[in-house]
Amino acid sequence: MPDWKPEILRRLAPLKLTPAREAEIAEEIAQHLEDRYQELLATGQSEDAAFRTVIDELKGEDFLARSLRPVERDLYREPVALGKGSSTFFSGVLQDIRHALRMLRKSPGFTAIAVLTLALGIGANTAIFSVVNGVLLNPLPYPQPNQLVEVAELNPPFHEGSISYPNFLDWVQQNHTFQSLAGYRQNDFSLTGVGEPQRVKVGQVSASFFPILDVKPVAGRNFTATEDKRGAAPTVMLSEALWKTKFGGSRDIVGKMITLDGTGYTVVGVVPSNFYFCCASTNFHLDDVYTPIGQWRQDFFTNVKLTGASSR
């Protein structure tokens, strides 16, 4: 009696079925072939002829696998072993996803709890990361950034409004909460008398501004409280970039006069180029010069913004 199973297993091999499924199909088809073989022998065929006829009815080496492939494709697939590549990796993933979705649909209670847990987990992680990112990964580029706050006036509909300069002075005088308060605003002046006239950006800051942010001038000094008052002699600090491009980076610049909007200002210091005021809409690292805000005579009631209030 011929052994039909090797013939069948060889034809099933490309399907990569599980051993159990492969054995089941082989057993069933082998019985069929044996029945057919016996039937042909009964009609008087020789064993060789009967064997050839039966094998011919398998229709070649690949017909059986091709016919079975669409049927067996999603069932009885040999699981992919870890570390072993598979050409059907993504189809397996899709199958897993479909299976997972079916299971979730069957258990709505479990699904709701799982989704809620995930949502809370993601939310908590996001909140914690925001803190870690701000405090540990990207802290403010100043010493003791955890002690710096931005102060604003709540003046509906503005949630973060600037305040008038007289109010700022009152806040500074009546402050019992912070070590120090600083105000700032931006302006534009015309710089003349040094080569071609140039429009420069001006950071008008209170005398406390640079000390709060611990900015050390690369030349000269910061503004004094005396200079930050109406009627004081006009003084100015240059940005390091302007100092180098317009004045050649000369240290003699301190104490010299420059002309802004037709008024003579005495240079008292140079702000380092690495100074970056990161936390407001004002972008101070582009500012070309700085002047004490208290000297600003044109509009005493102009609004200022507050920052760098370091806590007690």
Site residues (vs other proteins, CB under 8 A) = 25, 28-29, 31-33, 35-36, 57-59, 63-64, 67-68, 70-72, 75
**Nearer of residues 39 and 170 to other proteins, judged by Cβ:** 39
**Nearer of residues 32 and 285 to other proteins, judged by Cβ:** 32
**Nearer of residues 19 and 70 to other proteins, judged by Cβ:** 70
Inter-CA distances, 15 with 8, 71, 76, 119, 231, Å: 12, 11, 10, 42, 94
**Nearer of residues 36 and 221 to other proteins, judged by Cβ:** 36
**Residue 59 Cβ, how far from other proteins at the closest point, in Å?**
4
- In this structure, the dihedral spanned by the alpha carbons of residues 168, 169, 173 and 174, taken in order and rounded to 10 degrees, is -40
**Residue 77 Cβ, how far from other proteins at the closest point, in Å?**
14
**Residue 32 Cβ, how far from other proteins at the closest point, in Å?**
5
Question: CA 256 to CA 107: how far, in whole Å?
Answer: 81
Inter-CA distances, 176 with 50, 160, 171, 179, 224, Å: 109, 21, 9, 8, 22
**Residue 117 Cβ, how far from other proteins at the closest point, in Å?**
36
**Residue 78 Cβ, how far from other proteins at the closest point, in Å?**
17
**Nearer of residues 65 and 241 to other proteins, judged by Cβ:** 65
**CB neighbours (10 Å) of residue 15?**
20
Burial (0-12, 13-18, 19+ Cβ within 10 Å), 271: buried
**Nearer of residues 15 and 242 to other proteins, judged by Cβ:** 15
**Residue 8 Cβ, how far from other proteins at the closest point, in Å?**
9
Question: CA 77 to CA 228: how far, in whole Å?
Answer: 82
* CB within 8 Å of 189: residues ≥ 6 apart: 199, 200, 202, 260, 261, 289
Q: How many CA atoms lie within 13 A of 69 on its CB side?
A: 10
